[in-house]
Amino acid sequence: MLDFLSEETRRNPFPSYDQLRSFAPVLHEPRSDLWLLLDYEGVKRALNDAEAFSSVVSPPTARTSQWIVFSDPPRHTKLRALIMRAFTPKAVASLEPRIRELSRELLDQTIERGEMDLVTDFSVPLPLRVIAELLGAPVADQPRFRRWSDVIMALGHTVAGGEEAARVQEAFRVVTDEMRVYLEELIEQRRAVPRDDLLTRLVEAEVDGERLTEEEILGFFQLLLVAGHETTTNLISNAILCFIEHPDQLARLRSTPDLLPSAIEEVLRYRSPVQAMWRMTRRDVSVHDQVIPAGKMVMPIIGSANRDPQRFRDADRFDITRDPNPHIAFGHGIHFCIGAPLARLEARISLSTFLERVRGFTLASDAPWEPRAAIHVHGPARLPIRFEPGRRERSS
User: What pLDDT score was predicted for residue 152?
Assistant: 86
> 320-376, pLDDT tens digit by residue?
999 999 999 999 999 999 999 999 999 999 999 999 999 999 999 999 999 987 778
Question: Does residue 250 sit within a domain?
Answer: yes
Q: Is 396 inside any structural domain?
A: no
> Does residue 72 carry a pLDDT above 90?
yes
| Neighbouring C-alpha atoms within 13 Å toward the C-beta of 199 | 26
Q: Which element (helix H / strand E) includes 37?
A: strand 34-37
State the pLDDT at residue 318.
98
The CATH number of the domain holding residue 184 is: 1.10.630.10
> Three-state DSSP class for 150?
helix
Q: Which residues contact 59 (CB under 8 A, 6 or more apart)?
A: 65
The pTM for the full model equals 0.94
Are 14 and 316 in contact, with CB atoms under 8 Å apart?
A: yes
Which residues form the domain of 226? 7-388
Question: Each residue of 101-154: pLDDT tens digit?
Answer: 999 999 999 999 999 999 999 999 999 999 988 888 888 888 899 899 888 888
Q: Judge whether 120 lies within some domain.
A: yes
Given this model, what pLDDT does residue 159 score? 54
Scanning the chain, the segments in alpha helix (DSSP H) are: 7-11, 14-23, 40-48, 75-86, 89-93, 96-108, 118, 125-135, 142-153, 163-192, 198-204, 214-223, 229-245, 247-255, 260-270, 302-305, 340-357
Number of domains in the chain: 1
- 138 within domain boundaries: yes
Averaged pLDDT of the chain: 92
Q: Residue 395 domain-assigned? A: no
Amino acid in the structure at residue 60 = P
pLDDT band at 391 (very low <50, low <70, confident <90, very high): low
- pLDDT of 7 reads 87
DSSP notation for 74-95: THHHHHHHHHHHHS-HHHHHTT
What confidence tens digit (pLDDT) does each residue in 245-298 have? 999 999 999 999 999 999 999 999 999 999 999 999 999 999 999 999 999 999
More confident residue, 168 or 186: 186
Q: What is the pLDDT of residue 228?
A: 82
Burial 364-388 (b: 16+ CB within 10 A, else e): eeeeebebbebbbbbbbeebbbebe
Instruction: Please indicate, yes or no, if residue 393 is contained in any of the structural domains.
Output: no
Asked, for residue 35, whether it belongs to a domain, the answer is yes
Residue 36 belongs to some domain of the structure: yes
What was the pLDDT predicted at 396?
A: 42
Q: Please list the residues that pair with 287 across neighbouring strands.
A: 290
Cα 323 to Cα 193: distance, rounded to the nearest angstrom:
48
